[in-house]
Structure formats: C-alpha cells, structure tokens
C-alpha cells in the first residue's frame, strides 16, 4: 500500500520505520522540504521517498498527519481529497496557542482537521501512544487481546477498517472509541486512555465495551 506521512518528528519518523518494516511504500514530507529529510532517507534507504507536502498527499492511499495542530491550516486541502487521512495530532495550547472553540469544548482538534480537509476520510489514530512505545511494543506473535491497544475514531466505517488492518499489521490491536466527536474526545490529552499503555482487553474494560 502507498502511505504518505506529513511530519517527520517523533511520531512521523517512527511511523515511517514501522510502515516500511511491514512492506509498505512510504513517502514522507514536512514543512522544511525534501532536502531536510536526507538523514532519515539515509537511515531507511530506498524504501523511503521524500517529497513536498502536496506531492506526498497526492501519492498516498493513506496519509498520516503528524504535525503540530497549529499548522493544519497550511495543508493543501485539494491534495487530500478522497484520501484516508489518519490524524495523529494533538492540541496542546502551550505549544499551539489557544483555540477558543477547543478550549470551550465545542469541538475536537480532529473535527477541525476534517473541516480543513472536507473531502478527506479522516480517522483519528496513532495519537495516544508515546512514540518510543509505538516503536518497540508491537508484537504480531501475541493474541489480539494481549497486544497493546491503539485507539481510533472516525465517521467513515470503511476508512476505519483500513486503519484497523494497518494497526494489526504493526502488532497492536485497534480499539474503536466512536465517531470523530465523541470518540475524538476520548482520545484527547488528559482523557483516561491518553498515553496509558493498556492491552486490548484492558482498553475495552476502560471504555466499558
């Protein structure tokens, strides 16, 4: 599968390594341009392509976005049209600046991303686990209930199924928290399941499933 990653920080670079390791074709981009990605390309070799944000978005069947929330308005919406977009972002007011409607709890950061990319099929995932755990803890040899949980939320059932399969390939178990509104709130910083390592069985119990 062709997967693009927008953002080359801890989550973006970790995701690139993981997706390549299970055989996907990966393109990565950031705001600084392809030249800034040479060290990561040297590490991962020919399996990793570097591109501009717009070109990466057009390339991927799935696009994982892992950039500071404050820059989502810079994303070229047309390039993401009809793509499955995984939102791995979190809203941190101290980093991103305060957004009144988020501070008041009127919406979620993922709903705002979906509003920015209105034709994309947005799924919230890969945002609740520390990058080092994500890098090391996947284990395809464990039965699903004993694997660590990776949470996802979304309004598009087919898009969620694609992401669930991707999570399974990495050795985690996908746990559905609901739609972008209610489910997105369950995955926000400060929520009970945020940055807590839970097996799939423990996660279902924590969510009352």
Taking the C-alpha atoms of residue 1 and residue 95, their distance in angstroms, rounded to an integer, is 33
Taking the C-alpha atoms of residue 83 and residue 50, their distance in angstroms, rounded to an integer, is 19
Taking the C-alpha atoms of residue 27 and residue 6, their distance in angstroms, rounded to an integer, is 9
Which domains, from first to last, does the chain contain?
Answer: 2-206 (3.40.50.720)
Taking the C-alpha atoms of residue 134 and residue 209, their distance in angstroms, rounded to an integer, is 23
- Secondary structure of the chain as H, E, C letters: CEEEEECCCHHHHHHHHHHHHCCCEEEEECCCCHHHHHHHHHHHHHHEEECCHHHHHHHCCEEEECCCHHHHHHCCHHHHCCCEEEECCCCCHHHHCCCHHHHCCCCCHHHHHHHHCCCCEEEEECCCCCHHHHHHCCCCCCCHHHCEEEEEEECCHHHHHHHHHHHHHCCCEEEEEECCCHHHHHCCCCCCCCCCCCEHHHHHHHCCC
Give the position of tokens 């670079």.
13
Give per-10-residue mean pLDDT for the chain (209 aa): 97 98 97 95 94 97 96 95 97 94 95 96 98 98 97 98 98 98 96 96 92
- Show the tokens assigned to 120: 């994309």
| pTM (predicted TM-score) | 0.95
């Amino acid at each position: 599968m062709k997967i693009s990653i927008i953002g080359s920080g801890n989550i973006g670079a970790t995701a690139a390594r993981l997706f390549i390791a299970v055989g996907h074709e990966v393109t990565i981009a950031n705001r600084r341009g392809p030249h800034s990605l040479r060290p990561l390309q040297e590490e991962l070799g020919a399996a990793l392509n570097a591109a501009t944000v717009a070109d990466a978005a057009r390339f991927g069947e799935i696009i994982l976005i892992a950039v500071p929330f404050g820059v989502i308005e810079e994303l070229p919406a047309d390039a993401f049209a009809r793509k499955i977009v995984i939102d791995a972002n979190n809203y941190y007011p101290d980093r991103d600046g305060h957004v009144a409607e988020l501070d008041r709890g009127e919406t979620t950061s993922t709903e705002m991303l979906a509003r920015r990319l209105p034709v994309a099929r947005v799924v919230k995932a890969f945002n609740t686990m520390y990058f080092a755990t994500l890098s090391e803890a996947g284990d395809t040899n464990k039965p699903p209930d004993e694997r660590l949980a990776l949470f996802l939320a979304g309004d598009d059932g087919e898009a969620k199924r694609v992401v669930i399969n991707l999570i399974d390939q990495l050795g985690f178990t996908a746990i559905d928290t609901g739609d972008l509104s209610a489910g997105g709130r369950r995955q926000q910083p400060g929520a009970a399941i945020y940055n807590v390592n839970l097996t799939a069985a423990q996660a279902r119990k924590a969510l009352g499933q």
